[in-house]
Structure 1
Amino acid sequence: MNPPPTADAATASASAPFVGGSAIDVGAERARTAGSTLTSHFNAAGAALPTHAVVAAVVDHLRLEEQKGGYEAAAERRADLDAVYASAAQLVGADTPEIALFDSASTGLRILLDALRPAAGQRIIASSSTYVSHALHLMSLARERGIDLVIAPYDAHRRVDVPALEALLSDGVPSIVTVAHVPTSSGLVEPAAQIGEVVQRYGGTYILDATQSVGHLAVDVREIGCDVLVTTGRKFLRAPRGTGFAYVRDTLLERLLPIAPDVRGAHWTSSADWELVPSARRYETWEGPLAARLGLGVALEEAAARGIPETEEWLVETGARLRTALAEIDGVTVADPAGSHSALVTFVIDGVAAADAVVQLARRGVRVVSVPATHGQWDLGDRGVPSVVRASAHVYNDDSDIAALVDGVAAIATGILR
Structure 2
Amino acid sequence: MNQPTLDIEALRADTPATAALLHANNAGSSLQPRPVTETVLNYLALEQRRGGYEAAIERQAERAAVYDDVAHLIGAQPHQIAISDSATRAWNLAFAAVPFQPGDRILTSTSEYASNYIAFLQLQERVPVTVTPVPNDETGQLSVRALANLLDDRVRLVAVTHIPTNGGLVNPAAAIGEVVADSPALFLLDACQSVGQMPIDVRELKVDLLTTTGRKYLRGPRGTGLLYVGDIALETLKPPVSDLFGAQWTARDSYTLRADARRFELYESNIAATLGLGAAARYATEVGLRASWSRIRSLAGRLREALTAEPGITVVDQGQVQAGIVTFTVHGWQPPALVEQLRSRNINIWHSTVESTRIDMEERGLQSVVRASVHYFNTEQEVDRLVEAIGSAR
Is TM-score (shorter-chain normalized) higher than 0.5? Answer: yes
Residue by residue over 1:352-399, the C-alpha shift from the partner in whole angstroms, topping out at 9 and shown as x without a partner, is: 111111011112221000111111101112211011111111122113
Change (3 A) 1:297 1:338: closer
Query: Which structure 1 residue ranges, 5 or more long, are not aligned?
Result: 1-18, 414-418
Change (3 A) 1:20 1:187: farther
2:184 paired with 1:200: no
2:123 paired with 1:141: yes
CA distance in 1, matches of 2:26, 2:6: 16
2:34 paired with 1:47: no
CA distance in 2, matches of 1:340, 1:260: 38
**Range moving further from structure 2, 184-193 or 147-156:** 147-156
CA distance in 2, matches of 1:167, 1:86: 38
Matches within 5 A, 1:42-191: 42-169=24-151, 171-191=152-172
CA distance in 2, matches of 1:233, 1:353: 30
Contact 2:108 2:132 in 1 (8 A): yes
Give the 4+ runs in structure 1 shifted more than 2 A: 19-22
Contact 1:185 1:379 in 2 (8 A): no
Contact 2:299 2:380 in 1 (8 A): no
2:304 paired with 1:323: yes
Query: Which structure 2 residue ranges, 5 or more long, are not aligned?
Result: none
Q: Structure 1 residue 243: deviation in Å?
A: 0.7
Q: Structure 1 residue 20: deviation in Å?
A: 6.1
CA distance in 2, matches of 1:22, 1:400: 20
CA distance in 2, matches of 1:163, 1:395: 34
SS in structure 1 of the partner of residue 355 of structure 2: helix
Contact 2:158 2:187 in 1 (8 A): yes
**Range moving further from structure 2, 378-387 or 269-278:** 378-387
Q: Structure 1 residue 296: deviation in Å?
A: 0.9
- Give the length in aligned residue pairs: 394
Q: Structure 1 residue 73: deviation in Å?
A: 0.4
TM-score (norm 1): 0.92
TM-score (norm 2): 0.98
Aligned residue number for residue 348 of structure 2 = 367
Residue by residue over 1:235-288, the C-alpha shift from the partner in whole angstroms, topping out at 9 and shown as x without a partner, is: 111000011111100121121111211211100001111001110000001111
1:162 maps to a residue whose letter is V
Residue by residue over 1:138-197, the C-alpha shift from the partner in whole angstroms, topping out at 9 and shown as x without a partner, is: 11112331111111121122211111110110x321320001000001100000010001
CA distance in 1, matches of 2:42, 2:306: 42
2:249 paired with 1:262: no
2:280 maps to a residue whose letter is A
2:349 paired with 1:378: no
Of residues 161, 181, 194 in structure 2, which corresponds to 1:213?
194
2:132 maps to a residue whose letter is V
The RMSD of aligned alpha carbons is: 1.3
2:344 maps to a residue whose letter is R
Of residues 346, 349, 374 in structure 1, which corresponds to 2:330?
349
